Amino acid sequence: MATVSLQGLKKSFGKTDVIHDVEIDIADGEFIVIVGPSGCGKSTLLRMVAGLETVSAGEVRIGDRQVNDVEPMDRDIAMVFQNYALYPHMSVFDNMAYGLKIAKVPRSEIEARVAVAAKLLQLEPYLQRRPRELSGGQRQRVAMGRAIVRKPAVFLFDEPLSNLDAKLRVQMRLEIKQLQRDLGVTSLYVTHDQVEAMTLADRMIVMNGGVADQIGAPLEVYANPATAFVAGFIGSPPTNFLDASTFAPGAPQGAQLGIRPEHVVLSGDGTGHRAKVLYAEPLGAESLIYARLESGDNITIRQDGALPTPAEGETVSVAWDKDEEMQFAKDGRRI
Amino acid sequence: MEKRVRFKGLWLPLLLVMPQLLITAVFFFYPAGQAIWQSLFIPDPFGLSMRYVGLGNFEFLLSDPFYRASFVTTAVFSILVTLVSMGVALYLAVLADRLIKGSGTYRTLLIWPYAVAPAVAGVLWLFMFNTRVGVVTWYLGVLGYDWNHVLNQGEAMGLVVVASAWGRISYNFLFFLAGLQAIPRSVIEAAAIDGARFWTRFRTIVFPLLSPTTFFLLVVNIVYAFFETFGVIHTITSGGPQQATTILVYKVYADGFVGQDLGSSAAQSVILLVIVGILTIIQFKYIERRVHY
């Protein structure tokens, strides 16, 4: 149980800066998700907290201790890796007990702790098996078990679900959330999947090119993106970006107008902007309609599945509430 | 499924495997057969007549204290060569694995000794440790140590071991380095986070995961020490002093070509043949399966 604090954290490899000035104070027991596209520095950030990468500038604090130069083993953390990183020559039991054995925990207590974790993760029948005899989901659980038995102050997850199939991923996502709630351990979780980020996070850090574009609760980030990148990255289908000079007269030069697909409606009365339907995707509960405005901008409309879907090539008129508009300056910042 | 070609008739397939069979027959079966045949006889020194003695040569060898001593010498020699060459190679490989810059150069330089022929390597070491003009001998003399491998049995053994192991380090190094680099980084990192420091990690994670490589090298190096170190021993000590470095292979040569006891030499070759056979079986049985994890 500990707080984690990153202050002015920077990382550069040679002359290339990969992390610029990340700042966040994480409360005890909070679940933080670091989300962003490939190469945005999210894994590097996590590895800096783990102590697997050196800190170029700024500081990492775990609890009330500055840990910049503390070895990973002395940071009281546990990490779950993307490829699970299980010890292939050890049984499931030994994999989970490894850290405890090194810490010279008494045998009886090791057995007790592993038994508890195995029960929690439904791994009891597999304790004597080797990792290669397990399925992907089971290996994932072993990796989690290995983290749990050590009772660390902080859990670090590096894309733990990305090697699983879609169905298992949804199931494990729920289990991780539940587990973190029950154990109340401060967690940092890296993912490129915005759905994972939205569902798991107490707060999320949206990373873009080494910069933390926005830090906040998922719904707050969704409703109120700080930059055009965040608006585009969080939410599926992504936010529509339109040329502000056409649709919002008076906006600064080069500005963009963002409007979420669910806020765009087909106006039956012919008011609004004319657009030609390119194609429509009825998904059952909802329909996605892709259309091209007369200005040349493409726009996606998300509407209830019960509403009539226009045919391809049909000309419709689209409208949205001015209050839902988001304006972004040329550099991507929200105005 | 594997796609197999089936031949009709017998002649074409026979023709296709014939070159390999011929080579094996001429260069392996024929000499091996000759050795087994000759081991049953004692020829006169001029090769004019042969007297059949059955297993007499073997009986004599196994009760010969010099031959038994040679077994012990061979065992000591191969164990030392294997330990030294593998130990040093593993140490260098672990260091090279941690290297980020210049690892290519380092690797290339370390491979060079492998290209040096055993006899040449033997001569190099012989000159360095020559009792009169050797550089190392001179420095040892300055330090007050009187090096003389021509008279001292232990020093002679030490020198042939070092000379034999030296050329072998490169080979072992390459395999160890490849083995180390095949271990996923994240497994090592996971162990580090689990609290294992460098030495503990090496002992509990790296070394066990390296065991297929280690086992392979163990067999290969023992075979090397047994059979391919003739050149080194011949150039440096010629088996001496007092047979202190006469390993089995050297004794085959010394008894047969120097002592002209061809019957005994042939019997010794047969014994070596059996030993190689056993080592090969071990190699195939355990290495091919790679059951370690």
- Residues 253-292, chain B: which have Cβ within 8 Å of A? 292
Q: Which residues of B touch A81 (CB under 8 A)?
A: 186, 189-190
Q: Which residues of chain A have pLDDT under 70?
A: 1
- Chain A residue numbers with beta carbons less than 8 Å from the beta carbon of B200 are 102
Residue A262: its pLDDT value, please? 92
| CA-based nearest distance A251→chain B, Å | 49
pLDDT at residue A228 in the model = 92
Instruction: Categorize the per-residue pLDDT at B3 as very low, low, confident or very high, splitting at 50, 70 and 90.
Output: low
Chain B residues with beta carbon closer than 8 angstroms to that of A72: 189, 192-193
Q: Would B63 be classed as within a structural domain?
A: no
Q: Under an 8 A CB cutoff, do B195 and A102 touch?
A: yes
Does residue B289 have a pLDDT over 60?
A: no
Nearest to A87 among B205, B211, B292 (CB): B205
Cβ contact B53:B189 at 8 Å: no
3-state SS string for A6-31:
EEEEEEEECCEEEEEEEEEEECCCCE
From residue A177, how far is each of A29, A31, A116, A219 by CA, in Å?
12, 9, 18, 17
In a domain, B23, yes or no: no
| B14 interfacial to chain A (CB closer than 8 Å) | no
Confidence of residue B291 (pLDDT cuts 50, 70, 90): very low
pLDDT at A311: 86
Instruction: Count the alpha carbons within 13 Å of A276 in the hemisphere toward its beta carbon.
Output: 7
pLDDT value of position B120: 85
User: Do residue B191 and residue A87 have CB atoms under 8 angstroms apart?
Assistant: yes
- Tell me: the pLDDT tens digits for B158-200? 888 998 898 888 889 989 988 998 898 899 999 999 888 889 9
Residues 238 through 257 of chain A touching chain B, CB cutoff 8 Å: none
CB–CB of A146 and B190 under 8 A? yes
Q: Look at chain B and report how many structural domains it folds into.
A: 1
Query: Pick from A71, A81, A102: which is nearest to B190 by CB?
Result: A81
Chain A residues with CB under 8 Å of B197 CB are 71, 73
Q: What is the mean pLDDT of residues B56-75?
A: 87
Residue B179, domain CATH: 1.10.3720.10
3-state secondary structure chain A: CCCEEEEEEEEEECCEEEEEEEEEEECCCCEEEEECCCCCCHHHHHHHHHCCCCCCEEEEEECCEECCCCCHHHCCEEEECCCCCCCCCCCHHHHHHHHHHHCCCCHHHHHHHHHHHHHHCCCHHHCCCCHHHCCHHHHHHHHHHHHHHCCCCEEEEECCCCCCCHHHHHHHHHHHHHHHHHHCCEEEEEECCHHHHHHHCCEEEEEECCEEEEEECHHHHHHCCCEHHHHHHCCCCCCEEEEHHHHCCCCCCCCEEEECHHHEEECCCCCCEEEEEEEEEECCCEEEEEEEECCCCEEEEEEECCCCCCCCCCEEEEEECHHHCEEECCCCEEC
Q: Which residues contact A96 (CB under 8 A, 6 or more apart)?
A: A114, A117, A118, A142, A145, A146, A149
Per-residue pLDDT of B193-239, as tens digits, reads 988 888 999 999 999 999 888 888 888 898 888 888 888 888 888 87
Residue B99 has pLDDT above 80, yes or no: no
Q: Which domain holds residue B77?
A: 72-291
Buried b (16+ CB within 10 A) or exposed e, A254-265: ebbbbbbbbbbb
pTM of the predicted model as reported, rounded to 2 decimal places: 0.79
Indicate yes or no: CB of B200 within 8 angstroms of CB of A85.
Answer: no
What tokens does B156 get?
């002679």
Question: Which among B195, B208, B292 has the least Cβ separation from residue A73?
Answer: B195
Q: What ipTM does the predicted assembly reach?
A: 0.83
Cβ B190–A103 below 8 Å, yes or no?
no
pLDDT for position B293: 47
CB-nearest to B193 from A79, A88, A89 is A79
Which of A254, A291, A255 is CA-nearest to residue A272? A291
